[in-house]
Structure 1
């Protein structure tokens, strides 16, 4: 499993992107969109490039437009991965930003949401965030999870998940190749009473859902399809 593919096509980060705004939630700077009075929330967990990625915030805005309170916390604390820093390769960066730490902080964010009247929470995680999402699903801290081009997710993780889970993968992906996604699908299909969906998108690479070229019509279409599935899954299961 290598890092370069995960680090390809970094977004141009923009702290002012999106129709929402940033506030403090659960001790973290968090981009929020939608009505704070909504009883239904979706926690959107970024990849290694963080919560200021414009395409990620576009997804949050779309989720919010469907009636959810969309929250995108800064789980990496203003320290997005920078591929142009050779002295800090991905394994070194991950020592400071482990998914286990993200999981603990996500629990705090969910507690904060519930203290504000939210009754149901879904989670969608991209790459790094997918591992955090499935950990939340294993503990039933969320009502449903969506994993997009997951990294570091294992077959054992899928065996332990207890909530409806959708996994959207890329045909070209070192972190979650189609063979692994097939194993995920077999395990999830064998779980009675847990709704699941596994879909492999052809001709796309890891990161395609939020790190795409806006001038590439096919790339935009694939990303929009994946993010629509994310939204549909939350509408179906986060109630």
Structure 2
């Protein structure tokens, strides 16, 4: 069974978009924007998309959200990076696909996923974080979008970062949420077959039971999975919701990455 909600507005691609530049960081081509003198950084972990497939496993409906050929080149992702950078952060958006995005061939998903499993992202992200630390960065926040949320939640279980934001997450479990050790914000969508509001509310219940960890959970009405980076510029409601989510994300990092 296929879902169209996350595939209806694929991003335009432009490798040269944004006001920043591309450089190698931790071994990865990375879009970097913001003052190089900043000691505060935000790591953005991209989503992945070309197609969206649902699979049934052990009586649970799971969405295997594999979209490719976007990631760090998506103009809207870079636009968000520039916006965060304007607030005083050096923002890094690495290509964690290493130039090998999913090509849309469903038969190749098992092989592609072995190389690009979201569970492996933490090891790649740690290399980028080490590179940032070597440049004098003292505090780092990380935001993950769909595919990228798994890597960010894994980072949030340790002291690699100072704050985390998950935007329309995938591959994140309740056990992941229970293990969080840093301030975390979860932004979900009302229209999301992958992680519907009832799942996001379960995350909220777990976080509420951990008062020692600052948390923020919000479900955005009238938007679908992926809305923060895949909104339609002609849709005023979608643009407004994306802008609100971006402001929430930025506010979280301004509060907790110091």
TM-score range, shorter chain: over 0.9
Output the CA distance in 1 between the equivalents of 2:141 and 2:204.
Answer: 20
Q: Normalization by structure 2: what TM-score? A: 0.88
Residue 174 of structure 2 is matched in structure 1 by 155
CA contact (8 A) 1:2 1:175 kept: no
CA contact (8 A) 2:204 2:217 kept: yes
**What SS is found at the alignment partner of 2:98?**
coil
Aligned-pair CA distance for 1:173: 1.0
Residue 94 of structure 2 is matched in structure 1 by 73
**What SS is found at the alignment partner of 1:221?**
helix
Size of the aligned set, in residue pairs, is 237
Residue 142 of structure 1 is matched in structure 2 by 161
Aligned-pair CA distance for 1:87: 3.5
1:76-100 alpha-carbon deviations (Å, 9 max, x no partner)? 11223344x34334x5532221112
Structure 2: where are the runs of 5+ without partners?
Answer: 49-69
Structure 1: where are the runs of 5+ without partners?
Answer: none
Find the partner of 1:179 among 198, 209, 215.
Answer: 198
**What SS is found at the alignment partner of 1:63?**
helix
1:52-201 superposed matches below 5 A: 52-83=73-104, 85-89=105-109, 91-201=110-220
Residue 30 of structure 1 is matched in structure 2 by 30
Output the CA distance in 2 between the equivalents of 1:100 and 1:3.
Answer: 23
Find the partner of 2:239 among 212, 216, 220.
Answer: 220
RMSD (Å) for aligned C-alpha atoms: 1.6
1:168-219 alpha-carbon deviations (Å, 9 max, x no partner)? 0011112211111010000001102211011001111100000111111111
Output the CA distance in 1 between the equivalents of 2:156 and 2:30.
Answer: 21
1:157-178 alpha-carbon deviations (Å, 9 max, x no partner)? 1100000000000111122111
Output the CA distance in 2 between the equivalents of 1:81 and 1:215.
Answer: 28
Aligned-pair CA distance for 1:106: 0.1
CA contact (8 A) 2:122 2:155 kept: yes
